[in-house]
Amino acid sequence: MKIDEKVVSYFESCSSPVDKEGYLSKKAPKKAKRRQQQGEGGSSNVFSMFEQSQIQEYKEAFTIIDQNRDGIISKDDLRDVLATMGQLNVKSDELDAMVKEASGPINFTVFLTMFGEKLKGADPEDVILSSFKVLDPEGTGTIKKEFLQELLTTQCDRFSAEEMTNLWAAFPPDVAGNVDYKNICYVITHGEDKEE
């Protein structure tokens, strides 16, 4: 399990982050329980995984990528869209690898399914950010390393020493020992460091 998936699963298992005494609670809200149940054999319809606004955004992206407007993203479509973004010397085998990520022709449903598989289990960025903000009452955007390490190793789905080492390697604290949780949230939901 990658470190970002572990962070997501930790915060999902503690979806009601802090109780009245300041301890993390394991009680999940009804919405999180429903989402969990769906992920464990609920609806297999890919469209049920996304909100309507998200589906519309993916449809717009699909339309941009499908340069020849035939309803299928092909190797040529990828080459053309990458060229419009300034990547002119993309190797043919790189394009082949992109197309082969799908089990067949990439129509909109397959395209949406591919995104669903990549994002499966991850809450939206604002939900994860809200979980961290509960632990940051001053609103600084950071949490003390020691505090976060104590939470992650003693509450809910506990991190191992190796997972903590990986977390600090991926998200090193600043010289004052503060961890930028906004960057952690961004990486969990987008898969790469936010450019500052």
Sign of CA dihedral 165, 167, 172, 176: negative
Distance (Å, rounded) from C-alpha 63 to C-alpha 29? 36
* pTM assigned to the model: 0.44
Superfamily of domain covering 3-18+135-190: EF-hand (1.10.238.10)
**94-103 contact pairs (CB < 8 A, 24+):** 99/73, 99/74, 99/75
Sign of CA dihedral 118, 179, 20, 25: positive
Per-residue pLDDT reduced to its tens digit, 103-127: 889 999 998 888 777 766 667 778 8
Spans of all domains in the chain: 3-18+135-190, 46-119
Please name the fold of domain 46-119.
Answer: Recoverin; domain 1 (1.10.238)
Per-residue pLDDT reduced to its tens digit, 13-68: 554 444 444 444 444 444 444 444 444 433 357 787 777 887 888 899 899 999 89
Length of the chain equals 196
3-18+135-190 and 46-119 agree in CATH topology? yes
